[in-house]
């Protein structure tokens, strides 16, 4: 798959406003893949928000199985490793598990056909840096509270004392 096709597949799979978009776009621009699949994990640990270059209905099931295999090999922390599941028509695969020491944030699999060849050591180095950057980004997203409603909407339906700070309150 050509680089322009990879960017197009990302734009058609994930909105550019998604916080993971810039990092995934950078990854796919530097490390081309014949097929890619990305999902975030919910705080409960289940995979949610699935995105991929291929509309395959089995992508989530395959990614769940790959995630389980990878986490079995390394239960905590970020991980970059060869894809452990079946590659089907692909010749090589690499999986990134985005995490910190306590929780997992997401998973990305990159698969290649013989046309693109195996992943090079330079590409693996780039993916290692991307693993840290994406883990940090997804961690920050997990820590951020959900987007707040506007002041008027948030105050609506709340007791008056909750809508406005008390007269004695001062902001520092």
Domain that holds residue 127: 3-144
Q: How many other CB atoms are found less than 10 A from the CB of residue 113?
A: 15
> For residue 166, is it within any domain?
no
The pLDDT tens digits of the residues spanning 139-170 come to: 888 887 666 544 444 444 444 444 444 445 44
- Structural domain total, the chain: 1
What mean pLDDT comes out for the span 102-107? 92
Q: At what angle do helices 3-13 and 21-30 cross, to 10 degrees?
A: 160
pLDDT at 87 over 80: yes
> For residue 7, is it within any domain?
yes
Q: Which residue has the higher pLDDT, 158 or 42?
A: 42
The pLDDT tens digits of the residues spanning 48-65 come to: 888 988 766 677 788 999
> For residue 162, is it within any domain?
no
Q: Is the dihedral of CA 43, 48, 49, 53 positive or negative?
A: positive
> For residue 157, is it within any domain?
no
> For residue 108, is it within any domain?
yes
> For residue 42, is it within any domain?
yes
Q: How many other CB atoms are found less than 10 A from the CB of residue 123?
A: 17
Measured CA distances, 145 to 98, 140, 164 (Å): 20, 10, 20
> For residue 172, is it within any domain?
no
The CATH number assigned to the domain holding 75 equals 3.30.450.40
pLDDT at 119 over 90: yes
> For residue 171, is it within any domain?
no
Q: What is the pLDDT of residue 32?
A: 92
Structure pTM? 0.78
């Amino acid at each position: 798959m050509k680089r322009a096709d990879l960017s197009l597949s990302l734009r058609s799979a994930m909105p550019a406003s998604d916080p993971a978009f810039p990092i995934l776009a950078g990854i796919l621009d530097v490390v081309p893949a014949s097929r890619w699949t990305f999902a975030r994990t919910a705080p409960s640990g289940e995979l949610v928000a699935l995105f991929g270059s291929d509309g395959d209905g089995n992508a989530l099931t395959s990614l769940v199985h790959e995630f389980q295999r990878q986490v079995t090999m390394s239960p905590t922390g970020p991980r970059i490793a060869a894809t452990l599941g079946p590659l089907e028509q692909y010749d090589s695969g690499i999986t990134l598990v985005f995490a910190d020491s306590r929780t997992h944030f997401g998973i990305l699999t990159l698969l290649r056909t013989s046309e693109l060849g195996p992943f090079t050591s330079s590409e693996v180095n780039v993916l290692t840096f991307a693993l840290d950057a994406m883990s940090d980004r997804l961690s920050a997203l997990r820590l951020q509270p959900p987007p707040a409603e506007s002041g008027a909407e948030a105050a609506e339906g709340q007791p008056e004392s909750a809508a406005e700070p008390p007269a004695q309150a001062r902001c520092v």
